[in-house]
Amino acid sequence: MPEDLTEHAIRNQAAWAGWAEEYVPGAERNWARDEIAWGILKVPEQELQILPDVAGKDVVELGCGTAYVSAWLARRGARVVGVDLSEEQLATARRMQGEHGLEFPLVHASAEDVPLPDASFDLAVSEYGASIWCDPDLWIAEAARLLRPRGELVFLVNGAFLMLTTPDVEPVVPAGTELLRPYFGMRRFEWVDDPSIDFHLGYGDWIRVLTSHGFEVERLAELRNPGHDAGRYELFTAEWAEQWPAEEMWKARKVA
């Protein structure tokens, strides 16, 4: 059992115990899917090409949830390990592994304090995992520790533009155009009627956190509503996401 959790990790662990059930259908859909597609916008990896060739690589997914990203990478020949703090999410991941006959290690831990050895991975990934639920300085430091020299880090988060325009109301309404909160000081978010805590940084702060932990920034892919087959989303409208970045992916390489 994870010990010495941060206050936000304890709260997020409790929140995810309650949410896990709702995420089962999504897990089933994503596990059944062959093509890698990123984020709520489902931008195909084939289009984005942000991942390196993962065949034969050691990959850790930080905040894997139901571990569908790990499953996608395992099918492409990676030796993956999924790390998540929610026992309930990991239970879904284990059930999916059984149903799909695809086994890989799942570790019950916070991505802020991972019980795995230094320099043991070639790639660390996080899609709405540690990337938004953990303190950026803590989980990026862990990613740096876990990666081998020249190892790569790829993660997906909400765009800063979205975080400035998302109303703090329950039930959720899509982002509008009004700037509802300041950009300066943006980091730790608490929402009305929601026990969880998430973290979001501006552009300059992401560059600062990455470089200060020994990463070199290689790419920022700002995901745009692909237009074709534009779905319906909860957090933003298709039209909004054609104009402003609702989601973004960072790619960095460990250099120091």
> Cα(96)–Cα(67) distance, rounded to whole angstroms?
9
Full DSSP string of 119-138: T-EEEEEEESSHHHHS-HHH
Helix (H, G, I), strand (E, B) or coil at 194: strand
Helix (H, G, I), strand (E, B) or coil at 60: strand
Q: Which residues contact 63 (CB under 8 A, 6 or more apart)?
A: 83, 84, 85, 111, 126, 128, 129, 130, 131, 133, 134, 139
For the chain, the distance separating the N- and C-terminal CA atoms, rounded to the nearest angstrom, is 32
Nearer to another protein, 133 or 215 (CB): 215
The backbone torsions φ and ψ at residue 176, rounded to the nearest 5 degrees and listed phi first, read -110, -150
- Which residues form the interface with another protein (CB under 8 A)? 161, 164-165, 176-179, 182-184, 202-204, 207-208, 211, 216-222, 224, 242-245, 248
Nearer to another protein, 38 or 68 (CB): 38
Nearer to another protein, 98 or 176 (CB): 176
Min dist. Cβ of residue 52 to another protein (A):
15
Min dist. Cβ of residue 186 to another protein (A):
10
The alpha carbon of residue 129 and the mean position of all alpha carbons in its chain are separated, in whole angstroms, by 3
Full DSSP string of 207-237: HHHHHHTTEEEEEEEEE---STT----SSS-
Min dist. Cβ of residue 178 to another protein (A):
5
Min dist. Cβ of residue 160 to another protein (A):
9
Min dist. Cβ of residue 224 to another protein (A):
5
Nearer to another protein, 104 or 244 (CB): 244
Nearer to another protein, 65 or 214 (CB): 214
Nearer to another protein, 59 or 221 (CB): 221
Helix (H, G, I), strand (E, B) or coil at 205: helix
Min dist. Cβ of residue 221 to another protein (A):
6
Helix (H, G, I), strand (E, B) or coil at 169: coil
Given the DSSP bridges, would you call strands 121-127 and 147-158 parallel, antiparallel or unpaired? Answer: parallel
